[in-house]
Amino acid sequence: MRKSAIIAVLMCFVTLTSMAQEPAAGKKELGIMISESNFGIRYKTGNDDILARFTLFSVNGSSSTAKPDPGIKNIANNFGIGVSAGFEKRKPVSNGLYLYIGPELFGRYNNSVNKYKPSDDRYRQIGLSAGLGCVMGFHYCITDKINISSELIPYISYYYNKDSSSSGETEGEYISHGFRYGLNDYSINLTVSVNL
């Protein structure tokens, strides 16, 4: 399975390198990407046919406090950040409407902490993942300056999770890793952008 992942990454790199050699005509877009549970900044540059795309600061998080019993508190904090880079090839369908497809490499970091008061019991999970996606979407020019696009990104990724817990003087640690594929809530998103 590890060899398959290496071959997939090498094939993506060759595809990205060959697509990057296309001449650019100065098209640039900057936008805000929103999905069900995160948002980020997306930048695209290239020509009318092929654009390089970069998503930075794809962030999600939450903080909550629960009181299951009087005098007991459960405090939960979650934070995630990701980046991605790839290319999209656009095909015009009608005036101002384009379909696009292309490869995208991505990486993500997640940190989740649960604390229990007054016992000071604690559970923490740190997760790292990296993978390859196939971006499929549509792009619509609302005006000469404002665009909207929506996409699906089927993906395959490798993940590494480290879980640790402490209860009094007892501590434990558990590591898991493997492959995931399919769609998640980061894989379906909407972007509103402006032409620079």
Contact criterion met (CB below 8 Å) for 82 and 56: no
pTM of the model: 0.78
112-151 tens-digit pLDDT: 999 988 888 889 999 999 999 999 999 999 999 999 999 9
Report how far residue 6's alpha carbon sits from residue 182's, in angstroms, rounded to the nearest whole number. Answer: 18
CATH among 1.10.3470, 3.90.1720, 2.40.160, 1.10.620 for 2-195? 2.40.160
> What residues are paired with 109 via a beta bridge?
81, 128
Q: Which two tokens stand for residue 120?
A: 């000071």
Collect contacts of 93-98 with beta carbons under 8 A, ≥24 apart.
93/138, 96/140, 96/141, 96/142, 97/138, 97/139, 97/140, 97/141, 98/138, 98/139, 98/140
Q: What is the band of 45 on the pLDDT scale with cuts at 50, 70, 90?
A: very high
Q: Taking the domains of the chain in order of start, what are their residue ranges? A: 2-195
Contact criterion met (CB below 8 Å) for 151 and 189: yes
